[in-house]
Amino acid sequence: MLRSMNNFSESNLSVEQINASFKESILAKFPIKKLKKGTSLYRSGDTLKSLFFIVSGRVRISQPIGKDKDQTNNILMKGDFLGEEVFFDNKKVTQNAYTFVECEVIEMPIQELMKIPNILVFTNSLLTQKLETFKYRLSTIANKDSKSRIIDFIENLVNTKGKKIGFEYVVYDFMTHNDIAGITSTSRQTVTTVLNELKRNDIITFNRRRLIVRDMSALQNF
């Protein structure tokens, strides 16, 4: 059950205005924590007590698939929230979240969040966005082949995290082929094949530090 929020004040502000206000002012109320690579934010089975915001770095979201094994479901980056389950009473998470590299993270305890005006509007927006993302991923898995899913992933990554430099787009802290495979429900070999094919056609170039899309139009039509 969603936590009771009847005491929150409502306003005529748009969702965009409230979200911008939240990020610019509310986040400033909480300290930034510097976390080492491999630090756990939560594990499958935990009952969350905080919402998290990534200031810098990357956080890996994974699903346990056996003893001491897990599979990447998502890689969250600068500007992403995680731990939305905190808004549901006694909701236990089913995934693991830990820092993929050294990170700066803001942890927002639910008790403090519940005191913030307009948090209901922000929460609804956040949960809706996450649901739409999940639905899109399910639709992609059901209706597109492996190659198309990988290309869609790259395009979405560029649109959400990329920086335009001249006619090219750059995404820093590019992830491993294994992680892309987990996110796109493909194999590591398929990811490697598609990325190398894009590279041979001079559409992208990449290494562990960054991905550069040289021709966005060619990527979309590949």
Model confidence at 6: pLDDT above 80 = no
Q: Which residues of 204-217 are buried (b: 16+ CB within 10 A; e: fewer)?
A: bebeeeebbbbbbe
Tokens of 72: 């990447």
d(C-alpha 106, C-alpha 213), whole Å: 30
Give the per-residue pLDDT at 8: 30
Question: Same domain, yes or no, for 158 and 106?
Answer: no
Kind and range of the H or E run holding 157: helix 146-161
Quick one: average pLDDT of 76-93? Answer: 84
Domain that holds residue 40: 15-141
Q: Point out the least confidently predicted range of 48-52, 85-89, 214-218.
A: 85-89
Query: Are 54 and 126 within one domain?
Result: yes
- In the predicted structure, residue 89 carries a pLDDT above the cut 80: no
CA distance 216 to 222: 10
pTM confidence score: 0.73
Residues 163 and 131 in one domain: no
What's the token pair of residue 90?
């006694």
CA distance 100 to 90: 27
**130-138 contacts: CB < 8 A, separation 24 or more?**
130/84
Q: Are residues 42 and 95 in the same domain?
A: yes
Q: Which of 87, 117, 141 is the last residue of a domain?
A: 141
197: domain CATH number is 1.10.10.10
CB 72 within 8 A of CB 61: yes
165 and 120 share one domain: no
In a domain, 50, yes or no: yes
**Where is the domain boundary, 141, 175, 203?**
141
Per-residue confidence band for 2, with pLDDT thresholds at 50, 70 and 90 = very low
Identify whether 8 is part of a domain.
Answer: no
Say whether pLDDT at 173 is over 60.
yes
- State CA 203 to chain mean position distance: 25
**CA–CA dist 48, 88 (Å, integer):** 9
CA distance linking residue 131 with residue 125, whole number of Å: 10
Do 149 and 136 lie in one domain? The reply is no
Report the alpha-carbon distance of residue 157 to residue 170 in Å, rounded: 10
Q: What percent of the chain has pLDDT over 70?
A: 85
The answer to whether residue 58 sits within a structural domain is yes
Nearest CA to 56 out of 108, 104, 106 is that of 104
Statement to judge: residues 130 and 148 lie in one domain: no
Name the domain boundary from 141, 164, 194.
141
Residue 36 and residue 20 share a domain: yes
137 and 155 assigned to the same domain: no
